[in-house]
Amino acid sequence: MAVAATEARAVAPAPKLLKDAALTALVALVLALPLIGLQTVDAGGGGLAIRTHFDRVAYGVAAVFLGRLLLGWWGAIRAARPARDAPAVAERLGRIVSRFSHPLAIAGIAFAVALPFLPFSSRYVVDLGTTVLIYVMLGWGLNIVVGLAGLLDLGYVAFYAVGAYTIGLLARNFGFGFWEALPLSGLVAASFGLVLGFPVLRLRGDYLAIVTLGFGEIIRIVLTNWTAVTGGPNGIGDIPRPTFFGLPLERSAPKGVTTFAQFFGIDFQAEHRVWFLYFVILGLALITNFFARRIRRLPIGRAWEALREDEIACRALGINATNTKLSAFAIGAMFGGFAGCFFGARQGFISPESFSFMQSAIILAIVVLGGMGSQMGVVLAALVLICLPELGRGLAEFRMLAFGAAMVLIMVWRPGGLLSRRRPAILLHGAAGPPSPQGAG
């Protein structure tokens, strides 16, 4: 009797699982029927004919049915013995990474510095590294706004665009070089941050996200349509590349200007420029990181975190919430502007296409997947998100699918982000813990 009862209980979820899988399959059928099942083909003479692929629909729906069934079955098994599940493993991993974050950071920086000189390195690898570092820098910048101050900003790419167009316009109209334009790009982006922040910071959460999303689009549309100033969809070209203390890294320079290669008496190589750009962005990213880590220990950074935790309590403690939020917005925007300035100088050409919402989404994904507020997590997530589509170029159009799947997996596996442990910025007792053995009461 008792055995039968347990068996009955164990079997009981089976119909439920089947029903669940059937429902999922039905949804898949509804979606797949028009998307996969019907294909329009050229019937000749300018007409279109419909070809049906119901066999493919059937395969797809069967795969969804079986997949859902297996997933549910696996979930039921896992629920039965929760002793050793993935989140616990991930949690342990996160703890290890946060404990060894110092040596890991040093090793990471050493690797980043050595990257161009490693045997497997090539021009492509260094170029990819530059792209990753731009996103790492953007991630660290956005982390100030989202991770520290808790303001969900979906339009961060707007500040990136402002930075890039600042150098573009200054170079085209006033002959500015990269290094002169860099501080101005940050300043202009920060002022845009203030202008946006001022009216919208009374909004919270989702509402703020929607307004910032709109702001990002406004900037992009203005850039596209204000042809007289921004060049519209044609963009701005001929942005000067960064110089090495005034020495351009070009094959030939105009009269009176010594190139980098001539000055050091070496042969010109295009790799030098790629390496140099790589080290410039590495430096900029490290400055961003230094700033972000440093500011957490300062009163303003602490106030940002407090504001994220509880705005009402902040007001009761005499903190001016509006100004504090504005400062977070402006400083985050400033780093976006720096990164944009570098992007413009690196590409030599900018157009509104580079600043689509997709960019904002990727930067935000880097921050969220990495674990909000985690510096190391941003690096890890940027590596995953930028390298994965690059490595997956062989997958052609499926790489975005793989990208999405990877994001879903990370969120299932570790909903708080890859590394989401918060480390206190200041300790009373130091790392050793309180002197007396009894801890919390």
Partner 1 sequence: MPESAALLEVEHLTMRFGGLVAIEDLSFTALHGEITAMIGPNGAGKTTVFNCITGFYKASAGRIALHGKRGDFLLERMEGFRIAKLAGVARTFQNIRLFAGMTALENLLVAQHEALQRASIFTIGGLVGLPGFRRAESAAIERARHWLAKVGLVDCADLAAGNLPYGAQRRLEIARAMCTEPTLLCLDEPAAGLNPRESHALNRLLLDIRDEAKIGILLIEHDMSVVMGISDRIVVLDYGRKIADGTPQAVRSDPAVIKAYLGEAEATADATPC
What residues line the site for partner 1 (CB under 8 A)? 291, 294-295, 297-300, 302-303, 305-306, 309-310, 312-321, 327, 422, 424-429, 433-434, 436, 438-441
Q: How far is the CB of 404 from partner 1 (least distance, A)?
A: 30
- Nearer of residues 103 and 424 to partner 1, judged by Cβ: 424
- Kindly state the smallest distance separating residue 426's Cβ from partner 1, in Å: 6
Question: What per-residue string of b and e applies to 287-324 under the rule 16 or more CB within 10 Å gives b?
Answer: ebbebbeebbeeebbbbbbbbbeebeebeeeebebeeb
Query: CA-based Rg of the chain, rounded to a whole angstrom?
Result: 26
CB nearer to partner 1: pick between 40 and 436: 436
Sequence-distant (6+) residues with CB within 8 A of 234 are 227, 351
Minimum gap (Å) between residue 386 Cβ and partner 1: 29
Q: How far is the CB of 436 from partner 1 (least distance, A)?
A: 6
Minimum CB distance to partner 1 smaller for 55 or for 309 = 309
Instruction: Give the shortest CB-424-to-partner 1 separation in angstroms.
Output: 5
- Which tokens in the block code for residue 116? 């161009």
- Provide the terminal-to-terminal Cα distance of the chain, rounded to the nearest Å: 48
Least separation in angstroms between CB 428 and partner 1: 4
Query: What is the C-alpha separation between 110 and 8, in angstroms, rounded?
Result: 60
Which residue's CB is nearer to partner 1, number 18 or number 321? 321
Q: How many CB atoms lie within 10 A of CB 28?
A: 20
Tokens standing for residue 290: 């230094």
Report the candidate in 132, 178, 128, 186 with the shortest Cα–Cα distance to residue 160: 186
* CB of residue 354 to partner 1, shortest distance in Å: 31
Nearest approach, Cβ of 240 to partner 1 (angstroms)? 30
- Count Cβ atoms below 10 Å from residue 59 Cβ, excluding itself: 13
Least separation, in Å, of the C-beta of 290 and partner 1? 10
CB of 283 to partner 1, least distance (A): 17
Give Dmax (Cα) for the chain.
99
- Give the nearest distance from C-beta 296 to partner 1 in angstroms: 10
* Residue number with CB closer to partner 1 (250 or 311): 311
